[in-house]
């Protein structure tokens, strides 16, 4: 990843297009970090403020279209995706059921919250939406809003504070990930409790 970022930094005027292209590849689950591309875009835009709109457009459109690619990968490949060696490790039936539950219960908030969770969770969210055949129009709109919120926040922070804010963002990502895990556990515990309650109600003995 460091070699890629160094190469991009050498070709400033082509950088927005290169970042855009790399993020598209991330949609196919290649190990391209959206967070790293956001930081690099903001870092280069700081040195070349006349290109700031191009850098933001490149990273935003790359991230957004990457999400749509992940959706269609999940929708087209379906169940075959889980047995593919290119699938995220977190993509399994148990996690898919959990994410579907979040989509059903929280809708757009699932995408908005999920975009702030690192560690490969994002692609699982998008692929699961495709696997479950979520309405594409609703997904595209919700993800556009979610992607805009996360990209504006991170790009602005990186642009204004640079490397100084990276450590704080990493810590906040860990906190968000921990909260997400807690929510998942609570969701699972609630479902198990309801099933047990229903089973006891059906069994008078």
Per-residue pLDDT of 139-181, as tens digits, reads 999 899 889 988 998 898 888 887 766 665 555 554 444 544 4
Q: Please give the average per-residue pLDDT across 54-67, as a whole number.
A: 95
Mean pLDDT score across all residues of the chain: 78
Exposed (0-12), middle (13-18) or buried (19+): which is 32, by Cβ within 10 Å? buried
Buried b (16+ CB within 10 A) or exposed e, 73-87: bbbebeeebbeeeeb
- What pLDDT, on the 0 to 100 scale, is given for residue 63? 94
Q: List the one residue out of 176, 165, 147, 164 whose CA is nearest residue 59.
A: 147
Q: Higher-confidence residue: 185 or 78?
A: 78
Number of structural domains found in the chain: 1
pLDDT digits 0-9 by tens, 92-127: 677 777 777 778 777 777 887 778 776 567 778 888
Closest by CA position to 191, among listed 128, 85, 105:
105
- Residue 69 confidence (pLDDT) above 70: yes
**From CA 78, how far away is CA 72, in angstroms rounded?**
9
Q: Which domain holds residue 136?
A: 2-202
The residue that leads in pLDDT, 56 or 12, is 56
Model-level pTM?
0.74
């Amino acid at each position: 990843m460091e070699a890629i970022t160094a190469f991009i930094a050498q070709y400033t005027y082509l950088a927005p297009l290169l970042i855009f292209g790399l993020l598209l590849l991330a949609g196919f689950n290649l190990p391209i970090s959206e967070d790293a591309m956001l930081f690099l875009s903001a870092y280069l835009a700081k040195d070349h403020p006349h290109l700031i709109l191009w850098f933001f457009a490149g990273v935003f459109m790359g991230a957004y279209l990457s999400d749509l690619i992940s959706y269609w990968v999940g929708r087209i490949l379906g169940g075959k995706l889980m047995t593919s060696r290119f699938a995220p490790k977190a993509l399994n039936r148990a996690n898919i059921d959990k994410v579907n539950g979040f989509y059903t219960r929280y809708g757009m908030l699932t995408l908005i919250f999920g975009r702030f969770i690192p560690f490969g969770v994002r692609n699982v969210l998008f692929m699961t939406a495709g696997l479950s055949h979520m309405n594409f129009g609703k997904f595209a709109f919700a993800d556009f809003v979610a992607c805009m919120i996360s990209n504006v926040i991170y790009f602005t922070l990186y642009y204004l504070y640079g490397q100084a804010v990276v450590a704080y963002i990493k810590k906040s990502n860990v906190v968000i990930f921990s909260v997400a895990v807690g929510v998942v556990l609570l969701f699972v515990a609630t479902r198990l409790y309801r099933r047990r309650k229903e089973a006891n109600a059906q069994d008078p003995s």
